[in-house]
Structure 1
Amino acid sequence: MTELVKPVPAKDELLIRICATTVSSADWRVRSLEMPSGFGLLGRAALGIRRPRQPILGTELAGEIEAVGSEVTTFKPGDKVFAFPGSRMGCYVEYRCIAADGPVALKPSNLSYEQAAALSFGGSTMLDFFRRGSLQSGERVLVNGASGAVGTAAVQLAKYFGAHVTGVCGEANLELVQSIGADEVIDYTKDDFSRSGQTYDVIVDAAGTAPLSRSGRALTSDGRLLLVLAGLVDMIKAPFAGITDTRKVIAGPVAERPEYIHQLRQIAAAGEFVPVIDRCYPFEEIQTAHRYVDTGRKRGNVVIRIGRDPE
């Protein structure tokens, strides 16, 4: 823990007193410098050679606006909000400034601060992939790795968009994935979805275990494979997959768009997307929270509570 000077908002910024943040896979990767296959040297060059170049982690937050800049008219002190600084990080603090026209929106009243803090990372990731994958109502979607932060968001958002959803996870998480809306579930320890004979219009690989070489036989002739977690080789191959094949592979960095945050607010306010919370830790136990995420066994999101909850 380090004492920092309390920030002062610029004329177009909000000063947010943070009530909750999360330990996402992005935080884990930046801290540990554990990268997907092929990204070792590239990752370290971008994020830090021996330690993270960004000293304050945390990609998403929820809290209360304490002050606004002189030119801000869209928010006011006392507003409850959630925000997604994303790759800029910096949410493991008590106070953070963010542009009023940036990735920030009013907190849905039906969500707690802990739930609202967990809306953005998985939600924005899947809104971007479903946009690039042109998901249509009525299509059959399979989510590989359906019990993680991104996977649970993928299941709920695919259902919101009108898809028939099959979730793939371990036996311990089958009931969870069903409870958030999956029409069917597959225990990957007992059945291989790629050899079942069933085909899907869209396959979401949030676990990094279903590249085209495996998923191809489970895709329809015009199916799309969304590689949320991909190694360097698969990412390089992705743009060329459609040249000799009617199926498409979509991979690469997620676009961080402020409109995704506003869309997530609308979906969550309608009760169609409720982030799954595995565990909540106080700010003082953030090391313990990271150690738990390191185990690779978390279900949904791990949340950090910061300071006093105004609710």
Structure 2
Amino acid sequence: MKAFAARRYGPPEVLELREVDTPAPRDNEVLIRIHATTVTSGDWRVRSLDVPTGFGIIVRLVFGFTRPRQPILGTELAGVVEAVGKDVTRFKVGDAVFAFSDAKMGAHAEFITMPAEGVIAPKPDGFGFDEAAALSFGGVTALQFFQRAKLKEGEKLLVNGASGAVGTAAIQIARHMGAEVTGVCSGGNVELVRSLGAGHVIDYTQESVADCGETFDVVMDTVGTLPFAKAKKLLPPGGRLLQIVGSLPQALQAPWLSLTSGRKVIGGAAMGRREDLEFLAKLAESGEYRPVIDRRFAFEEMIEAHRYVDEGHKKGNVVVMVEGETE
């Protein structure tokens, strides 16, 4: 099969298209023919080692010290089950599915094997493979952080970085939960953020978020520009700061701040869970959640897709069509 592999850490040009063996499913696994995948900020960080302060050595220990231990990046995918192991009963050949491979990655390829009882769900009715592939990364991250924060109906939520993959998912999921959402983005994305359900939008190029004069029950920082020192002005006693992106010193400081400030600081990673994918699929089928797709690239354009994500200005998700047309 064909796969894009990173031979070392670095810019998009470290990726190369290779012919590698098509994996065979084990007894409890399924083989999925990938129709669409994505390039996320996570792929960018693993490939480039451009990570928040303090996490460089940790990323090397987890993903490979001198080069990626798993050279095939990509965590999101949608496709069709090609083969199943002898113990698999949950899926059959021909089933259309979407999946989240998380830290195991491997989705920037024509095929992938995954445990049948893992983070895989049937593709939502009415969704193309491109949209289904983009459901997981932003949706799982937003959903799990809202669960940790115990976001409730009627609460006020501020989403900093509202036009990215996590931000666009967060707005829609929070609206489903009954929260009142304020989004923070650049002027060019104001209408997009408003169309997703944000009742209020702050253009950070025109107005300082920290000086907006309002307070919020929950502040979600998806881009790392609202550390606690700034966010505390936005949080009343009992408020929660969700640090999707933050430095290692901030992560180490979070428990102390939670104990002493009267506000709760919540960080950490969002891990793939099957029940989250199933929840997102139901939300998608109901029309309450639809991933925003900025651009679609052909599989042969994987390096260009990475270059585009590296620029840091994507809206929602960047999809790579492994099979099928980009439009």
Report the TM-score range of the alignment, normalised by the length of the smaller protein.
over 0.9
Q: Aligned equivalents of 2:166 and 2:75: distance in 1?
A: 14
* Alignment equivalent of 1:30, drawn from 27, 39, 46: 46
Instruction: After TM superposition, give the deviation of residue 48 of structure 1 in Å.
Output: 2.9
Instruction: After TM superposition, give the deviation of residue 308 of structure 1 in Å.
Output: 3.5
**Within 5 A, what are the aligned runs for 1:144-183?**
144-183=160-199
The superposition leaves residues 41-92 of structure 1 with CA deviations (integer Å, 9 ceiling, x where unpaired) of 3323333334322200000100011122222222111111000011110001
Query: Would you say how many aligned residue pairs link Structure 1 and Structure 2?
Result: 310
Between stretches 66-75 and 160-169, larger displacement belongs to 66-75
Q: What letter corresponds to residue 202 of structure 2 in structure 1?
A: I
1:299 corresponds to: 315
Q: What letter corresponds to residue 201 of structure 1 in structure 2?
A: D
**Within 5 A, what are the aligned runs for 1:94-113?**
94-113=110-129
Instruction: After TM superposition, give the deviation of residue 188 of structure 1 in Å.
Output: 0.4
Unpaired runs of at least 5, structure 1: none
Q: Aligned equivalents of 1:248 and 1:273: distance in 2?
A: 28
Task: Provide the alpha-carbon RMSD of the alignment.
Answer: 1.3
* Alignment equivalent of 1:285, drawn from 301, 315, 321: 301
SS across alignment from 1:38: coil
SS across alignment from 2:277: helix
Confirm whether residue 205 of structure 1 aligns to residue 221 of structure 2. yes
1:132 corresponds to: 148
1:245 corresponds to: 261
Q: Aligned equivalents of 2:82 and 2:67: distance in 1?
A: 33
Between stretches 253-262 and 166-175, larger displacement belongs to 253-262
Q: Aligned equivalents of 2:159 and 2:305: distance in 1?
A: 26
**Within 5 A, what are the aligned runs for 1:65-80?**
65-80=81-96
Q: Aligned equivalents of 2:258 and 2:313: distance in 1?
A: 35
The superposition leaves residues 110-159 of structure 1 with CA deviations (integer Å, 9 ceiling, x where unpaired) of 21111110110011111111111111111000000000011111111111
Q: Aligned equivalents of 1:220 and 1:110: distance in 2?
A: 42
Between stretches 142-151 and 51-60, larger displacement belongs to 51-60
Unpaired runs of at least 5, structure 2: 1-16
* Alignment equivalent of 1:46, drawn from 62, 69, 73: 62
SS across alignment from 2:260: coil
Q: What letter corresponds to residue 281 of structure 2 in structure 1?
A: R
Tell me which stretches of 4 or more aligned residues in structure 1 moved more than 6 Å. Answer: none
2:6 corresponds to: none
SS across alignment from 1:128: helix
Instruction: After TM superposition, give the deviation of residue 9 of structure 1 in Å.
Output: 1.4
Instruction: After TM superposition, give the deviation of residue 256 of structure 1 in Å.
Output: 2.4
1:84 corresponds to: 100
The superposition leaves residues 85-115 of structure 1 with CA deviations (integer Å, 9 ceiling, x where unpaired) of 1111000111111111100000001211111
Q: Aligned equivalents of 1:280 and 1:258: distance in 2?
A: 26
Confirm whether residue 142 of structure 1 aligns to residue 124 of structure 2. no
Q: Aligned equivalents of 1:259 and 1:288: distance in 2?
A: 33
Q: Aligned equivalents of 1:298 and 1:53: distance in 2?
A: 27
2:201 corresponds to: 185
1:21 corresponds to: 37
2:36–2:77: 8 Å Cα contact kept in structure 1? yes
* Alignment equivalent of 1:257, drawn from 258, 262, 273: 273
